[in-house]
Structure 1
């Protein structure tokens, strides 16, 4: 049964690669390319966040803070110190990972609403620091970001950026799918099912929670750096509370514990504001109604709900739950 779902996931990866390959045929102008690039960047962050929330059951309401750290690391290091963009991206990812590692153990000891409040506070602190350090970050006015270049080759134009973001999305999706199918992934799902039961069967719950927290933070940082270079100008809103809520909503709407649900959720919530802009002031209300309807009629999220209904009609067994046997240490 596990092999069946593993093959289904990797077949989905091939479908995703095919969609990303043919999508440029339908992107007829720069605006459509811009939306596609933003979808890919959001999906990358949401995949990492879903590993933390959907598969491990750990809530984070401050993930935009890690996204903002990556973006501002690239902006500050390239603008003020003349670092190569790739080096700045790597330094931002390492610094974000170290910060996440430092905070993970005390924060992840909390559960439920207390964990949510702690991660919310972390995101708010990062946002305040970015706003106040005006000599480095430009404060509320924002800061310009230099073009992204590697070995003298500059990435410019929507088509080039689409290629970069599409390849990065495929890579992150592939890594996430392989992580889920590994002993580490089974341990994460066991923790989500019951942390006490996971300890009983030999899972070092603290170590695995810290690992996935750091991994999701680093993924968010890398996406933030890429986004900063693509946009060319960033403001503290990248690290704000509302951006964190948007990311969490993408996870929930697309489907908890669903990698492809993360991509669908990111695509839907990135496109919807554009489609609803014609409602002139009512777009937020319509947006809220759509989200409420999704949660009422598909509480597990779009992809898991639709997949469950499809399996019931076809008589296919549902996805296996966390194993009740000892998990191999990694």
Structure 2
């Protein structure tokens, strides 16, 4: 019974929902709810990268560019176009998907390091645009973001944002888990193992890689829009190279290809820096050391390693 639960997609989703439901009951203050909301938002962005890297086996070092597109879309829509924030979020996600489709067609022909460098260049271009177009984006200082409203309800306060971000992550996780079990998901995993073998059994390699890239971009854009709305401010830092690296680290630390691993990896890299503030100027060094330790002793990621250990003990 326990072995079946460990392998069940529904069990992972229910566990995540239970954690979300229980946390507000034990959170000491609104600060912890806000940090948890950030975990859910970054986990949503990491889920998109999980689909691209973990399912399809394609590396992206510019994923934060799509995060920035969603964030700036939510800011620019109300400020310059007079659009409602929610509509701006939907349009920004659609724009991110369209750009990913147009950019992905040429760059996904590349492989390995060449693909990684191409996506890095794309992310750097977006970051440069956000930083230099001061009249539209506010430049290096960023710009204010209008408060999100849904059917007349203005989302304010840490608790409300906690539930909004938690709900968005649950929907994203449910979609990712269903994709994983679908024929398309199996085709993506075949790409991860061998593009040549996948093509040999009839998988349209180019189309599947492109679809994973577009899905990942939409996930990141939605997460970026939620992040900007939560903070009430967006700066070019959201689309920086270091932000892209952090998203990749979340996916790898949690477990490449694991939906629940994306959540654990996001929690690791969002919560741990808060806990390491006591180290002051050594905070980044300690964080880097801990990441190295995890990669050495848990090379497959936290969630796959724990799941495998439990299955071995129970079988």
TM-score range, shorter chain: over 0.9
**In structure 1, how many angstroms separate the alpha carbons of the residues matched to 2:283 and 2:7?**
40
| Contact kept? 1:6, 1:181, Cα under 8 Å | no
Q: Where does residue 38 of structure 2 map in the other structure?
A: 38
Q: Where does residue 199 of structure 2 map in the other structure?
A: 199
**In structure 2, how many angstroms separate the alpha carbons of the residues matched to 1:5 and 1:32?**
30
**In structure 1, how many angstroms separate the alpha carbons of the residues matched to 2:89 and 2:78?**
10
**In structure 1, how many angstroms separate the alpha carbons of the residues matched to 2:4 and 2:26?**
33
Note the C-alpha offset of 1:28.
Answer: 2.2
- C-alpha root-mean-square deviation of aligned residues, in Å? 1.3
Give the secondary structure class of the aligned counterpart of 2:60: coil
Q: Where does residue 211 of structure 1 map in the other structure?
A: 211
Superposition pairs for residues 108-187 of structure 1, below 5 Å?
A: 108-187=108-187
Note the C-alpha offset of 1:314.
Answer: 2.4
| Contact kept? 1:148, 1:155, Cα under 8 Å | yes
Superposition pairs for residues 200-239 of structure 1, below 5 Å?
A: 200-239=200-239
Superposition pairs for residues 1-330 of structure 1, below 5 Å?
A: 4=4, 8-315=8-315
Q: Where does residue 320 of structure 1 map in the other structure?
A: none
Note the C-alpha offset of 1:230.
Answer: 1.1
**In structure 1, how many angstroms separate the alpha carbons of the residues matched to 2:151 and 2:304?**
43
**In structure 1, how many angstroms separate the alpha carbons of the residues matched to 2:84 and 2:120?**
32
TM-score, L = length of structure 1? 0.93
Note the C-alpha offset of 1:150.
Answer: 2.1
CA offset digits 1:2-36 (Å, max 9, x no partner) = x9589612111111111101110112212111100
Q: Structure 1 residues 5 and 117, CA, compared in 2 at 3 Å: closer, same or farther?
A: farther
Give the secondary structure class of the aligned counterpart of 2:82: coil
**In structure 1, how many angstroms separate the alpha carbons of the residues matched to 2:13 and 2:6?**
11
| Contact kept? 2:191, 2:205, Cα under 8 Å | yes
| Contact kept? 1:97, 1:215, Cα under 8 Å | yes
**In structure 1, how many angstroms separate the alpha carbons of the residues matched to 2:6 and 2:306?**
18
| Contact kept? 2:48, 2:216, Cα under 8 Å | yes
| Contact kept? 2:66, 2:96, Cα under 8 Å | yes
Pairs aligned (count) = 313
Note the C-alpha offset of 1:312.
Answer: 2.1
Q: Which runs of 5+ in 2 are unaligned?
A: none
**In structure 1, how many angstroms separate the alpha carbons of the residues matched to 2:293 and 2:150?**
45
**In structure 2, how many angstroms separate the alpha carbons of the residues matched to 1:36 and 1:144?**
22
**In structure 1, how many angstroms separate the alpha carbons of the residues matched to 2:7 and 2:115?**
35
Give the secondary structure class of the aligned counterpart of 2:296: helix
Q: Which runs of 5+ in 1 are unaligned?
A: 316-330
**In structure 1, how many angstroms separate the alpha carbons of the residues matched to 2:52 and 2:42?**
16
Note the C-alpha offset of 1:143.
Answer: 0.2
| Contact kept? 2:195, 2:205, Cα under 8 Å | yes
**In structure 1, how many angstroms separate the alpha carbons of the residues matched to 2:11 and 2:183?**
21
| Contact kept? 1:130, 1:139, Cα under 8 Å | yes
**In structure 1, how many angstroms separate the alpha carbons of the residues matched to 2:211 and 2:217?**
10
Runs of 4+ in structure 1 displaced over 6 angstroms? none
TM-score, L = length of structure 2? 0.97
| Contact kept? 1:13, 1:174, Cα under 8 Å | yes
